[in-house]
Copies of this chain bind each other. A is one copy, B any other.
């Protein structure tokens, strides 16, 4: 029992092997759940492992296996809650696995962005990466991952890639539903604050907006569409633009909640009653959406679930089982007080 000179360092596979009276390979088999193992041997080894408090060294395993246990999250999404929800979803999928999550925010718009991500992938060689919008919409980035040999899954607002490499919410349908909801309440003059050019989400949401109006045979003058860039500030500007119109729109759909908050701000400044004089609908269901006054009707996309599936697509199928994770996710319209039938 009394080992001579018990070193205080972490026990290694050798210690376990010695104490259990087996070879390291056998211990390795136990760790890796090899099926061809005498049950007695397994038990004995497990006991020694527990007794010693042995934990396999991930770096050593990574070296021997020529792959590591890191999943990267590459993102440039400005919405903190979204990013955290994604992290939560990924970690949920990674629980009970040996994988860890490493995060890598990148600077969208930086001319060296692709190089930066490339350097990160080359250096760390993560087992796989989850790409968040809007950067996930960048096809060059996906190609880069492929060329480097790094698995990836893109999150997005529409089918961006084949099922193995993407999870998406159907933003177009979701917005269409929201607008149809407004129409059903009697709104006829509905404005849109759209997201920035080059963003797939912005394009999809606009498309859904237009489709809904078209289906209802309601004309859409260009003046009812204001530009935004997903910031509160741009929502303020867009709100001023749209509320200057005569006749005023009775409802405004915003491509995200931040901008909706901006529009609400302007409406209040002008003494408009929301939703009496103006209904407002957002997109994202950020925490703020529920906390502003009146609470914002908005669209919630299942970020965490999507992220979870994304991660499972990456790490799943390692045990040979096919990965049958969904690729498309439904968003839900969250009805709150900011949208109601127009007053008169």
Q: List A residues at the B interface (Cβ < 8 Å).
A: 10, 53, 55, 57-60, 62-63, 68, 70, 80-81, 83-84, 87-88, 91, 98, 100-105, 122-125, 232, 258, 261-262, 264-265, 268, 287-288, 290-293
Contacts of A81 in B (CB 8 A): 80
- B290 and A293 contacting across the interface, CB-CB below 8 Å: no
**Known A-B contacts A62-B59, A102-B101; A292 and B290 likewise in contact (beta carbons under 8 Å):** no
Please give 6 more A-B residue pairs, beta carbons under 8 A apart, in addition to A80-B287, A101-B102, A101-B103. A10-B125, A59-B68, A80-B80, A91-B103, A103-B103, A265-B291
**Known A-B contacts A81-B80, A291-B292; A105 and B88 likewise in contact (beta carbons under 8 Å):** yes
- A291 (CB) vs chain B CBs: closest residue: B261
Partner of A293, one of B59, B104, B265: B265
**Known A-B contacts A232-B290, A288-B291; A87 and B105 likewise in contact (beta carbons under 8 Å):** yes
**24 intermolecular pairs with C-beta atoms under 8 Å apart:** A57-B63, A57-B125, A59-B59, A60-B63, A70-B102, A80-B80, A80-B83, A80-B287, A84-B84, A87-B103, A98-B123, A100-B102, A100-B124, A101-B102, A102-B102, A103-B103, A232-B287, A232-B291, A261-B292, A264-B293, A265-B293, A288-B292, A292-B292, A292-B293
Per the bound structure, the CA–CA distance linking A262 and B98 in Å amounts to 41
- A59 and B55 contacting across the interface, CB-CB below 8 Å: no
Contacts of A290 in B (CB 8 A): 232
Contacts of A80 in B (CB 8 A): 80-81, 83-84, 287
Shortest distance between the CB of A87 and any CB in chain B (Å): 6
Shortest distance between the CB of A94 and any CB in chain B (Å): 11
Q: Which of A84, A125, A262 neighbours the largest number of chain B CB atoms within 10 Å of its CB?
A: A84
- A123 and B55 contacting across the interface, CB-CB below 8 Å: yes
Per the bound structure, the CA–CA distance linking A271 and B124 in Å amounts to 57
Per the bound structure, the CA–CA distance linking A105 and B95 in Å amounts to 12
Per the bound structure, the CA–CA distance linking A258 and B288 in Å amounts to 9
Per the bound structure, the CA–CA distance linking A122 and B290 in Å amounts to 40
Per the bound structure, the CA–CA distance linking A100 and B129 in Å amounts to 14
